[in-house]
Amino acid sequence: MTRLFFNEVATRDGFQIEPAFVPTEAKIALVDALGECGFAKIEVTSFTSPKAIPMLRDADEVMGRIRRRPGVEYTVLVPNLRGAERALEARADELNLVMSTSETHNLANLRMPREKSFEALSAVIRHVAGRTPVNVSLSTCFGCPMEGEVPLSEVLRYADRFAGLGVRGLTICDTTGMAHPAQVSEVCEQLLARFAGLQLTLHFHNTRGMGLANVLAAVQAGIVRFDGSLGGLGGCPYAPGASGNISSEDAIHMLEAMGHDTGIDLPRLLTLARQLPDLLGHEVPGQVAKAGRIADLHPAPPAVAGLRAALASD
Ligand code: COA
Ligand code: ZN
């Protein structure tokens, strides 16, 4: 069965929309614990403006104090050159640059037109070339909550331009859960046909309950890399109606049940997911942490033994 690779984004995409500040110590402890679960990559934090994303204002300290497990890549979100400088200083293993394929969402999230973002990110890519691998996350690729449809041609146009600049990977993001499986199949087919040499990652939100169906459609199309968020936390503060990413543990549970190899220690991951409500002060959307794995059986009610005995003596 296919080897699949997960990038855990709870401490970035997950935390950035949380109302109450998560203490720096708790962020570090969670990243360290996630590092023991078998993830290929962990998106630790973002080097954005602390005014824009106050939750992640401690990014430098968190990156400086996490325990780095060999074999795990520690990546960070970067919106501009200033962020790239901070990420290099923090010895991030990868810079995950971000811009939106929707003009309106780019203006809301990054406060500039797409073309200006592209120029700024091109400068970042030239600046870090040969030092640190670059991934580019393209937001709202399956639809924008303000503009509606984002044509696939636009997504491919930006993907092409970044591929031309020599990035290592592209993440195609469904920022507000507008993708459906048929659309995902088509997008993935086109991406794989054009960018076979790049690491292609799919990033889904479960805003409309289609998250795992979309993961399945992407796997069936041949995608092997996914972003997921512990507990199903997450959402972009600058996208109206945004809500959680696909839950890492629910996606991994499904894929393992189907026979895929994710490299993840699921019981260990579920233990972490079950600690989130205490850490954040509210319930989280992930389902397997509540229901248990399909392999976690319950004892039969005592009456069943009595019935069995009666049936056997008949
Ligand atoms: N790290 C730290 N501070 C930064 C920064 C960075 N990467 N980029 C800008 N700043 C600071 C500037 O120093 C300035 O501070 P000041 O007001 O104290 O002088 C302030 O932020 C504004 O800077 P400016 O260059 O005018 O940027 P802006 O206001 O146009 O904001 C972004 C642009 C991209 C930096 C900002 O909108 C941002 O960080 N957005 C977050 C996007 C995000 O993470 N969204 C969710 C994930 S998709
Ligand atoms: Zn997201």
pLDDT in tens, 249-307: 999 999 999 999 999 999 999 999 999 999 999 999 999 999 999 999 999 999 999 99
Helices 152-164 and 114-128, packing angle to 10 deg = 30
Q: Look at residues 6, 268, 238, 249 and name the one whose alpha carbon lies nearest to residue 112.
A: 238
pLDDT in tens, 204-249: 999 999 999 999 999 999 999 999 999 999 999 999 999 999 999 9
The best mutation among 48, 55, 233 to test binding of ligand 1, ranked by most ligand atoms within 8 Å of the C-beta, falls on: 48
E strands, the chain, in order: 5-8, 41-46, 73-78, 94-100, 134-139, 169-174, 199-204, 225-228
59 is in which domain, residue-wise? 5-313
Q: What is the pTM of this model?
A: 0.96
> Where would I find the beta strands (DSSP E) of 221-301?
225-228
171 lines ligand 1 (CB under 6 A): no
Task: Decide: 46 in ligand 1 pocket, CB within 6 A.
Answer: yes
> pLDDT for 89-113, tens place per residue?
999 999 999 999 999 999 999 999 9
* Residue that is written with structure tokens 């954040």 in the block: 280
Distance 258 CA to ligand 2 centre (A): 25
How many domains, the chain? 1
Cβ(234)–Cβ(252) below 8 Å: no
Distance, in Å, from the CA atom of 28 to the CA atom of 24, rounded to the nearest integer, reads 6
CATH of the domain at 185: 3.20.20.70
